[in-house]
Structure 1
Amino acid sequence: MRALRQEFAASRAAADARGRSERPQSAAASRIIGISLQEAQQILNVSNLNPEEIQKNYDHLFKVNDKSVGGSFYLQSKVVRAKERLDEELRIQAKDEKEKGWKAET
């Protein structure tokens, strides 16, 4: 029982640390989509947010996990959610850059 409580406390601390490391908009996107940025990057096997690489890996993984070719609907769904999460992060970054541009002009 003690080990279970310790593991629960450690898991909560790790989750809190992950939440603090993300920007507020990014953390909100993780909660809404249900997948963290890091997990999305791991699923699509990308280390940086390069839209072309994300799309290429998404297309490949979506195709190989298609149920009609013996793939898994569950894995295909994870691939879709990962792509949605990375697309949202790209949108957040573009918005931040646009806002920085406006602030620099004033």
Structure 2
Amino acid sequence: MAHRIITQVIFSGTRIIGRAVTEAYKQAQASQKYAAAAGKTPGSSRTYESAGLSLEEACKILDVAPPKQGKTDMEKVLERFKRLFDTNEPKNGGSFYLQSKILRARQRIELEIKGAEEAAAKAKDAEGWKPKVYKD
């Protein structure tokens, strides 16, 4: 009688684990297909663009003016970031969700400024290389 109960427990457990593994595999395949359709490589970390935060939205969150020609007052952005980030500290009754949105907003603005600086540097390099010529 005991061997019958043990056998039933083993078969039931095996069936449950088998179904769970099969379902996890199906979900992993669906996730890979979705990532491939979105143009992302599986296992890559999320970028700021994939988080869905636009520059306009980031500026509204931090209540700063959008960068003009890739330049903005970073001191004001950092001051607003620090104040809002500290205000929403979860230990003091704030919201982790809001803190993460504030962090992503600051990162998005920094990314935009960095991209504009890199574009300006490339444009400057595209003007051409002008070596110094020394005459003897």
TM-score range, shorter chain: 0.5 to 0.7
The residue that corresponds to 1:77 in the other structure is 100
User: Distance between the aligned counterparts of 2:54 and 2:83, measured in 1?
Assistant: 21
The residue that corresponds to 2:114 in the other structure is 91
SS of aligned partner of 2:64: coil
CA contact (8 A) 2:48 2:104 kept: no
**Within the alignment, does 1:44 sit opposite 2:62 as a pair?**
yes
Displaced runs of 4 or more, over 4 A:
none
CA contact (8 A) 1:30 1:37 kept: no
The residue that corresponds to 1:104 in the other structure is 127
Moved more, 30-39 or 89-98: 30-39
CA contact (8 A) 2:61 2:102 kept: yes
User: Distance between the aligned counterparts of 2:51 and 2:124, measured in 1?
Assistant: 28
Q: What percent identity do the matched residue pairs reach? A: 32
CA contact (8 A) 1:33 1:85 kept: no
Moved more, 46-55 or 86-95: 46-55
2:85 to 62, 68, 79: 62
Structure showing greater relative contact order (alpha-carbon pairs closer than 8 Å, 6 or more residues apart) = 1
Aligned residue type for 2:63: N
User: Distance between the aligned counterparts of 1:93 and 1:54, measured in 2?
Assistant: 17
How far off its partner does 1:68 sit?
1.3
SS of aligned partner of 1:97: helix
How far off its partner does 1:66 sit?
0.5
Cα RMSD for the two superposed structures:
1.7
Which has more radius of gyration?
2
User: Distance between the aligned counterparts of 1:102 and 1:32, measured in 2?
Assistant: 30
SS of aligned partner of 2:49: helix
SS of aligned partner of 1:32: coil
User: Distance between the aligned counterparts of 1:50 and 1:33, measured in 2?
Assistant: 24
Q: May I ask how many residue pairs the two structures share in their alignment?
A: 78
- TM-score where L is the length of structure 2: 0.52
How far off its partner does 1:74 sit?
1.1
Task: Give 5+ residue unaligned stretches, structure 1.
Answer: 1-28
